Amino acid sequence: MTAAGRRRNVRLILEYDGTDFHGFQRQPGVPTIQEAVEAKLLRITGERLVVTGAGRTDAGVHATGQVIHFRTAGTIPTERLTVAMNSLPPYAIVARDAREVPDAFHARFDAMARVYRYWLLDGEPSPFYRRYTHRVAPLGDLGRLREAAAHLVGRHDFVSFCAAGAEVAHHVREVKRLRIRRAGALVMVEVAADGFLHSMVRIIVGTLLEVAAGRREPGEMPAILAARDREAAGPTAPARGLFLTRVVYPEEVLRRRE
């Protein structure tokens, strides 16, 4: 139990099917993940809380490991919070692993890495994978894709892989890992980085698919980076295949001093 009156900083993990939401961030007049989660918390705590997410997933993008934090003076024990949240609609959003964290913890600013996975369906259409994969023409051997992907690993200016019109101060990001794995008809592209520009994973995947189709060569990737021009890269792959799967924090920001 928590003493009433004191404000706890709570971190929890969200999984969601983003198909029917206009992204994470609250926007007037359309359903968003943030608004739906805040509405659940209002019913549970009676407080109009503001939740902060580690990643601002776009419309139609899913999550298995989105991290949020919020400060509450409510008296519901932290360990009962997720069961209460999951008993309320919308059920397309599921909370897990609620945990009290130090007051200073911030889901977005403290994140040192984020991991996204993009799922391709390299096979016959399926009504059950439809919401969660992007179906592609046969990819064949993944060697060419992996060769292209290897050029993107490391610290680069990724402005060529950033949605036009996005306003951020600088475009240098460090891609720590870019793996491509096959499991039957599913091919997963996993990208881990210290941060992501708007639509960065989807433009990387769209460009890799042009390599798979033979319209580009793996060796073209450095020139695409160097161009510093969105037009140099491939199209933006659809939102439905993309999942925010993990957010990594330094140990110390999560450790509570008792």
> Which residues are annotated as catalytic?
58
Measured CA to CA in angstroms, residue 221 lies from 55, 140, 154 at distances of: 26, 20, 13
130 binds a second copy (CB under 8 A): yes
| Shortest distance in whole angstroms from residue 86 CB to a second copy | 5
Identity of the residue numbered 81: L
Beta strands in 4-126 (DSSP E): 8-16, 52-53, 62-72, 93-101, 113-121
| Shortest distance in whole angstroms from residue 119 CB to a second copy | 11
How far apart CA 77 and CA 223 sit, in angstroms, is 54
How far apart CA 68 and CA 84 sit, in angstroms, is 16
| Shortest distance in whole angstroms from residue 167 CB to a second copy | 31
Of the listed pieces 52-60, 84-92, 139-147, 217-225, which binds a second copy according to CB under 8 A?
Answer: 84-92
> Binding string, 192-231, against a second copy, x = CB under 8 A?
----------------------------------------
Pick out residues in 17-56 that bind a second copy (CB under 8 A).
17
Pick out residues in 156-195 that bind a second copy (CB under 8 A).
none
119 vs 196, beta carbon nearer a second copy = 119
DSSP secondary structure string, 10-48? EEEEEEE-GGGSS-SS--TTS--HHHHHHHHHHHHHSS-
127 binds a second copy (CB under 8 A): yes
How far apart CA 224 and CA 51 sit, in angstroms, is 37
Pick out residues in 131-150 that bind a second copy (CB under 8 A).
132
Q: Look up tokens 């941060």; give the residue.
A: 195
- The residue ranges that bind a second copy (CB under 8 A) are 15-17, 62, 86, 91-94, 96, 124-128, 130, 132
